[in-house]
Structure 1
Amino acid sequence: VWPKCSHFTRQEQGHMAQLCYENTFITVKDAIGSEARARSSPVRTLRRSSPEAFYVASLQRAMGLTPPIPVPTHEPAAVREAEAEAPPASEDVAAASEAEAEKEVAVTSGSLGHPELCFKPCLFMTKGGCPKGGECKFCHLPHQPAKLNSRMRETLNGLCQAEILALVLPYLRAKNVTGADRLLAEMESRLAALPRAGCAVPPSRISQLNRALRRLSFRQLILLSGTRAPAELERLQGLAAGRG
């Protein structure tokens, strides 16, 4: 007599199966479970970064904490070496400007002693060139705009000769012009012989005048002081040009 149901187990291709005898019939019941896994390891896929990691990485790139990606250069080595050995363009321009300045000083008598002892700038040089060339009595070199406006000239006209000399002499001394000691000594002697009177100009206007006098050249200060010494100024120009 067959039992109503008997159970036997067997393993088939990685599955657990059951043989069940029921009423002279044999049936196979597969075990419930997952399919068989492959024996080899699966291909590893790139792990997706979390939103937090992506946010931190973007902040690091924005703050410059990650090294920049080098940009490949395709220039030949000879070109790079030539660029490294070539002097900067600014040096070439500066050297050319100095050479041009020396040329102008050598051919223009009005440029001798630039910028302290030269004459007024030539107006023709601002228009492309001077037709007189070396015979021009004015300076052909660049000048910084430094002059007294009408208000400052009005203040200067309100001062006496002693007050003007007292204002101008310290700035003349500060110029340190070669060979000017004799001229400055004569001006100081003349100042000592002049009577001193009280200054009627407000101190605020004197302060403004001092700031303007600091920017003037040696020749301009001499002319403002009322000193007539053309021969002495010419001698100082010769010393500045190395002819004294």
Structure 2
Amino acid sequence: MTAVTTGRIHSWDLSTGVDGPGTRFVLFVSGCPLRCLYCANPDTWHMRDGVETTVDEVMAEIEKYRAFITTAGGGVTITGGEPLLQPAFTGEVLRRCREAGLHIALDTSGFLGARATDELLACTDLVLLDIKAFDVGMYRKLTGGRLAPTLNFATRLDRLGVPMWIRYVLVPGWTDDPSAVDALAGFVEGLEAVERVDVLPFHKLGASKYGALGLPFPLKDTPTPEPELVERVRDQFRGQGLKVF
């Protein structure tokens, strides 16, 4: 009897323009090893809170929207949480999507990049790589994790030729230091597989979820970035010849 691959998922949604090219079927898996202070989805932190789901069930749901997402130039994005916390499940969904002829994007912090096999990455058309900060100490304060695994994963993706979009959340007082941004831009410029950089202004849209979970929102007093700051940071990446949004 063939083993049935299952995973724990939080939800799914459709989006356009923010989770990869075109209109996407976005699958949110449960569980994340990081605790980013600006996290908009604290309800995805724990695997135990997800719903156990088979790959067949996921694919059946995706199939309902195949015509819509493919006509709109999109595909499937697996996000979370952290998809690489469940590498067998994520890898099987990616493989099945590849067999179905769907464009596949993997949204990850890269912190668990070592768990992604070469086979998993061979089924991935695009990695949305979230680099949370480029200063080691700041990364630790902001996420509770280490920066090195993400940078190692970025280098590995580049060596394998897996296309990347780098995502950088701009948080005033946390990730806006000019020298750190310049250093990150220099690192990214050296990765030939990077297609673009998305500078994402910090927002508080997930603050209500913290209240619902009985948790304090760590950055409730942190302002959202002014347009001038966002443009300054984007210009720093553009200064390295990078395509920036």
Please give the TM-score of this superposition, normalised by the length of structure 1.
0.21
Q: In proportion to residue count, which structure has more helix?
A: 1
Structure exhibiting the larger radius of gyration computed from Cα positions: 1
* Greater relative contact order (CA < 8 Å, ≥ 6 in sequence): 2
Please give the TM-score of this superposition, normalised by the length of structure 2.
0.21
Q: In proportion to residue count, which structure has more strand?
A: 2
